[in-house]
Amino acid sequence: MRTHKDTKAQGNVVSWFITVTIVIIIGLQVAWPVIDNAVSGGASATNNFTYSGNSTAGEYVNVTDDGGVVHCYIMNSTSGSGTQNGCIRVDISTGVTPTISAANLTISINSDPFMSGKITATTPVAGTTKITSVKKSAVYNSYKTTDTVANGAWLASTMTNGITDVSAMPASASVLISLIGLFLALTILMIFIRPLL
């Protein structure tokens, strides 16, 4: 009779465990998309540099990263790319208008090997260069932006609106679900094998 009771008790434990596990798995599958939508996604940090007038050779546009390294871009009247005073040249040899200056500043930032993988630059409108962080992270909000341009300015003193992307969390949920299944299988195996030992 004792063996019968033990077997029945074990069966009840298994049934209870299976039910709880199924509820947890279904709950994760249903609730996770809602949770993920609320906490993940993130946003890239951005900032705009806009010329209000003609640029002048020797003026600088700077971006300082979170490590304190200053990435500088110097207006240069000599044709071609390259560096000057340790800064990436911005070719204004064909004109110093806001349109030409912004377009070539964009080119220079994108050609900077030390900014590769960190920020990219675009020209959304004539006369404006927009920098955007490659990764969606709040870290880029600490990137400082300065300049010595008489007829131009950054929209803000740092990159802004960066939000850390936590979209990797669904993978964690998937791993958790798979581990629950493994734990369930091992538990059932131990419950039925133990009486035989």
* Selection from 65, 68, 122, 111 nearest residue 89 by Cα: 111
- For the chain, the structural domain boundaries read 2-41+167-196, 46-154
Note the pTM of the prediction, 2 decimals: 0.67
Helix H, strand E, coil C: the string for the chain is: CHHHHHHHHHHHHHHHHHHHHHHHHHHHHHHHHHHHHHHCCCECCEEEEEECCCCCCCCEEEEECCCCCEEEEEEECCCCCCEECCEEEEECCCCCCHHHHHHHHHHHHHHCHHHCCCEEEECCCCCEEEEEECCCCHHHHHCEEEECCCCEEECCCECECCECCCCCHHHHHHHHHHHHHHHHHHHHHHHHHHHHC
The pLDDT of residue 194 is: 56
pLDDT of residue 168: 45
- According to DSSP, the β-strands at 60-64 and 152-154 are unpaired
Measured from the Cβ of residue 173, the count of other Cβ atoms closer than 10 Å reads 16
pLDDT of residue 80: 83
Fold of 46-154: Immunoglobulin-like (2.60.40)
pLDDT of residue 25: 66
Q: Tens of pLDDT along the chain (197 residues)?
A: 445 555 555 556 666 666 766 666 666 666 655 555 555 568 999 999 999 999 999 999 999 999 999 999 999 998 888 999 999 999 999 999 999 999 999 999 999 999 999 999 999 999 999 999 999 999 999 999 999 999 999 999 999 999 987 654 455 555 655 666 666 666 666 666 655 55
3-state secondary structure of 103: helix
